Amino acid sequence: MEISLLKTLLNNISSFFHLSSFENVISGLAQKYFQKTKEILKLQKQILDSVVDCEIASNEMLNKSFAELGQSINELRELFVNRQPLSVER
């Protein structure tokens, strides 16, 4: 597996985790979804760290999947960062 691609994916996951340090960015219902996503990504990160450590052979299908996952994580991070609180009109 292409190690640089995996390291990029791991960096994307770490970047997502750093959002938790900005409490004003994530609140309410978004916080609930953020925490659940973070739990899932923590599990995936452990697996990916092991793959990087083992330097498993390249697999084109896995590389494509990891690239797509990395893109999805970046998009999700952007959604949380750019999220606007819903306002209720009275």
What is the reported pLDDT for 88? 45
Place of tokens 């498993």: 56
Q: What is the pLDDT of residues 8-52, one digit of tens each?
A: 888 888 888 887 766 666 667 777 888 888 899 998 888 888 877
Mean pLDDT score of the chain: 77
Predicted confidence at residue 85, as pLDDT, reads 61
Residue with tokens 């083992």: 54
Q: For residue 62, what pLDDT band results from cuts at 50, 70 and 90?
A: confident
Start-end of H helices in 1-90 = 3-17, 29-54, 60-81
pTM: 0.62
Alpha-helical (H) ranges within 18-59 are 29-54
**pLDDT: is 40 or 89 the higher one?**
40
Structure token digits, residue 31: 């916080």
